[in-house]
Chains A and B, each alone.
Chain A
Amino acid sequence: MLAHDLLDTWAHLHSPVHRLDARVKLLCATVLVIAILATPVARPWLLAAWAAMLLAIAGASGLPARWIAKRLAILLPFLALGTLALPFVPPTETTDAWQLAGLELSREAALVWLSVGGKCLLALLAATLLTGATTSAALLRAAGALGVPRTLTALTGFAISYLAALGEEAGRMITARRARGRVRGTARNLRVAGSMIATLMVRTVERAERIALAMVARGYRGRMPALTVQRAPATQVAGGAAFVAAVAAVFWLGVRA
């Protein structure tokens, strides 16, 4: 079963993070991710500050560490590849050279890689915490409330709704194929993969048309309807504003240092 625990797996817990209004969470997470991505290369300890914030939030959220680690682990091949490539980037000048365990590394390249790798990891951690502590339904409503166009939230909503079902279908096809024995040879493997993907896509088109029929049968007129949502409690809004201010302050201090 593929893609079955990417969303809503732990959204039913009751931590302070879970109980926050989705709009506040989404806004804070977005601001934090922007700050993470905008962190200059030469400020690695600013990344450490973001990491500390995120770890604190992770702790408060009550999300299982193992689940978070599993989600972050997908980046491992990417991180490993980049790290292993470091020794192959020659230092530009002697002042740039770094002696590490007998290898001569380019200090600049190492810093850059630390920055890039760190940003990817931290951004993913932020996204994981957000999606772990909030139901996808609430996130979609929040996105709409914060100004994301309805078409985009509608498309994402459909994608999220059918993610698990399509993952299951793909998983079943893979299992069925495996049960018929291993396929030897890359070319044959590729053909098999290609035909499975093709079948999956055709079935998905048929499913999409059934969904469209159901929408029309229930009166769809070209605009996705929406229910009203209550206002977020003032304390939460204030807390969110404080968080955003804190992120901005840390960023400003970090960049100026």
Chain B
Amino acid sequence: MSLIAIDDLRFTWPDGTQALAGVSLTVQEGRSLGLVGRNGAGKSTLLLHLNGILHGSGAVRVEGRPVEDWPADELRATVGLVFEHPEDQLFMPTVLEDVCFGPLNQGLSPDEARVRSMEVLASVGAAELAARAPHHLSAGQMRRVALATVLAMQPRVLVIDEPVMALDPEGREEVIALLAGLAQTKIIASHDLEMVLALCDDVAILDAGRVHAQGPACELLADDALLRAHGLRTPASLRKG
């Protein structure tokens, strides 16, 4: 049984733009998936279907059950979604309150939430930031805290949209190392194919709202012709000659 199974997912915005034109893909437990594609391919829209925020036609199954049959809180706790802009996910006055937001909504007591949040903050190397105001942090720190806010809900699947966007090389390395060390199955949407290669076992190429190929990362990302056809380029480390 796949952890996530999407079958012919279609989604059209109210103004008529079709964002997803029949997406089919599967994610196996323990095999991280990189979702790659050019701008406007539909990556971010697709991610919003995985935790039930958006509903299209077709089937989205998490752990074998259709998302419609999942109670909302359980689904959001199972599929943790980390969005692209960290500053738009850190809206509480302090880092600790932000990380506690999820667990408190899950029904933990304030003390339990505090304990869990401090553990998670420690695991992402941000424990000393607990009392700080989130918007006074550096970009890399904000990324780690944003990750912590979702990890605190103990999701089974971690879905991340552009984890290393706009980070300097040092920050990028830190975040990649952090993600590599996480036990959860990951779905990572990104342009940064080097990072996808480093972190993901499988890759799915999304273009114009449809998945055009899905397979092992090292194979697909080495196929330059395939990538070019969908607005991408083979990462430098896989280029021959």
Contact = CB atoms under 8 A, between A and B. Distances in A.
Interface of A: 8, 135-137, 140-141, 157-158, 160-162, 164-165, 207, 210-211, 213-221, 225-228
A164 B104 CA distance: 27
A210 B153 contact: no
Contact of B83 (A157, A213, A221): A213
10 contacts: A137-B97, A157-B92, A211-B91, A213-B83, A214-B91, A216-B53, A216-B76, A217-B76, A221-B73, A226-B104
A160 B88 contact: no
Nearest to A7: B133
B76 A140 contact: no
Contacts of B106: 219
Contact of B73 (A160, A213, A219, A227): A219
B102 interface: yes
B93 A227 contact: no
A97 to B, nearest CB: 54
A141 to B, nearest CB: 8
Contacts of B111: 228
Interface of B: 48, 51, 53, 73, 76-77, 80-81, 83, 85, 87-94, 96-97, 100-102, 104-106, 110-111, 113-114, 133-136, 149-150, 153
B91 A217 contact: no
Contact of A136 (B77, B83, B93, B105): B93
Query: 8 closest Cβ contacts across the A-B interface?
Result: A219-B105, A137-B93, A225-B104, A214-B89, A218-B102, A210-B88, A228-B110, A217-B81
A7 to B, nearest CB: 9
Contact of A215 (B85, B91, B113, B134): B91
A211 B135 CA distance: 14
Interface of A, secondary structure class, is helix
Given A217-B83, A220-B105, A211 B88 contact: yes
A136 B97 contact: no
A160 B93 contact: yes
A162 B135 contact: yes
A210 B91 contact: no
A228 B102 CA distance: 16
Given A214-B83, A219-B105, 19 more contacts: A8-B133, A136-B93, A157-B91, A160-B93, A161-B135, A162-B135, A210-B83, A210-B88, A211-B88, A214-B88, A214-B91, A215-B101, A216-B53, A218-B76, A219-B102, A220-B105, A225-B105, A227-B97, A227-B110
A40 B106 CA distance: 53
Given A137-B133, A218-B149, A227-B114, A161 B101 contact: no
A137 B76 CA distance: 27
Contacts of A210: 83, 85, 88
Contacts of A137: 93-94, 97, 133
B52 to A, nearest CB: 9
A76 B88 CA distance: 36
Nearest to B146: A214
Nearest to B94: A137
Contacts of A164: 135-136
A8 B48 CA distance: 35
B104 A136 contact: no
A219 B77 contact: yes
